[in-house]
Amino acid sequence: MQFHFSATAGSLGSSAVRDILKITQGKEIISLAGGLPGEELFPVEAVREAYGQALSGSTAALQYGLTEGYLPLREAVAARLSSQGIAAAADNMLLTTGSQQAIDLLCKILLDPGDAVLVEAPTYLAALQVLGSYRAAIHTVASDEDGMLPEHLEEQLRTHRPKLLYAVPTFNNPSGATWSRERREQTVALCRKYGVLILEDNPYGEIAFDETPGAYPPALAAIERENDGDSCVVYTGTFSKIVAPALRTGWAIGPQEVIRVMAKAKQAADLHSSAIDQRALHELLLSFDLDGHIRRISREYYSRMKLLSGELSARGWNDYREPRGGMFLWLKLPAGIQTAQLLPLAVEQGVAFVPGEVFYAARPLTSAMRLNFTHTPPAQIPLAVQRLEQALALYEQLAHGSLPLS
């Protein structure tokens, strides 16, 4: 039978990260590819007890729930966000199946084919997938370690009149960069000037390596609150990185009208996210020291990042900046090296990474790679880098013709 798929289906791309995870599954490969937290750091006992509490004395946890999400959990998340300076309340929040769904729902209600969207370079691969699935016209804003360059941002705003700006300003995926406060303020001011909605994606922001109060600039959503005006920011986050990914619970907060329409779209998608997961998370927040847990995993991830950084530097690979938090290190190899071609050789040697080119909407940097340091146990990080070095040596031998191509 011949199947006639829609234009939307034709615009769906495969995730490079998911594809890499498939080829490494069940093999003796050290993966620096996926954005996975360290499994041995999951609060297993606390989660088990939370589910027990959610199921004790009531069958409501197994019933259908509100599309907007379990109200006590929304209130608890709102309280956490309010303590971070973000204007959050249960009535301007939607609980979603991970923050990925929040990105999808906002794009679904906002974008028609051909609508312009601005993104960083590089930016989150899965966000590019979502934008592509809605056939948006994706335009890149020149960026550096401090964030989007305001002059180019205004030029792109004026030229393309976008509906949306998507950004990961804190511990960017994949670059690890953290925007300065000045760039955040400039971005918010320019988007307000041109009437453009900002989607601020912040799945990593609490995995912070510097515990000094005030060490990091506030979220765009918090800066917008300081303007005391109608918000132009939809802010999304998740429990995936700070508790466990399998709980698949994220949130979106923003202008009530936007959240209301997103809720309608969610009704059509899945009615509501898992009710029992939401109730268990609420129980976890009541009984578990989540902030203490976040500090513990952040310290461990910092240690792993420093170990990876030291191994790279020891081999003369110094074209990177150590991230101030999050899960990724962005390594640039010498110009001319194609990391997409290097990957199969690396897998043969027993290590995986994500080639940098998949994180660009246009004009990719083909000599870069994203390395995850949170999932690999510390004892395996030196071996992973050693295998990467072996793969690069093979690549260079093939490139110079000293080894046969097959």
- How do the domains of the chain map onto residue ranges? 7-42+291-399, 45-287
Question: Which position has the token pair 């899965």?
Answer: 126
Helix/strand/coil for 25: coil
- Contact assessment for residue 372 and residue 35, using Cβ atoms and an 8 Å cutoff: yes
**pLDDT score for 25:** 60
- Contact assessment for residue 198 and residue 186, using Cβ atoms and an 8 Å cutoff: no
Question: Which position has the token pair 């041109």?
Answer: 194
Q: For residue 163, give Cα distances in angstroms to 5, 66, 113, 130.
A: 27, 29, 12, 15
CATH architecture of the domain with range 45-287: 3-Layer(aba) Sandwich (3.40)
Q: For residue 219, how many other CB atoms are within 10 A of its CB?
A: 22
Q: Regarding beta strands 30-31 and 93-96, do their DSSP bridges make them parallel or antiparallel, or are they unpaired?
A: unpaired
Q: Is the peptide bond before 218 cis (omega within 30 degrees of 0)?
A: no
**pLDDT score for 399:** 83
- List the pLDDT tens digit at each of the 406 positions of the chain: 877 677 777 766 665 665 666 666 656 899 999 999 999 999 999 999 999 999 997 899 999 999 999 999 999 999 999 999 999 999 999 999 999 999 999 999 999 999 999 999 999 999 999 999 999 999 999 999 999 999 999 999 999 999 999 999 999 999 999 999 999 999 999 999 999 999 999 999 999 999 999 999 999 999 987 655 578 999 999 999 999 999 999 999 999 999 999 999 999 999 999 999 999 999 999 999 999 999 999 999 999 999 999 999 999 999 999 999 999 999 999 999 999 999 999 999 999 999 999 999 999 999 999 999 999 999 999 999 999 999 999 999 998 776 554 4
Q: Distance between CA atoms of 207 and 327, rounded to whole angstroms?
A: 8
Domain 7-42+291-399 and domain 45-287, same fold? Reply is no
Structure tokens at 23: 């080829």
Question: Does CATH number 3.40.120.10 belong to domain 7-42+291-399?
Answer: no
Q: Distance between CA atoms of 301 and 313, rounded to whole angstroms?
A: 18
**pLDDT score for 5:** 72
- Contact assessment for residue 187 and residue 198, using Cβ atoms and an 8 Å cutoff: yes
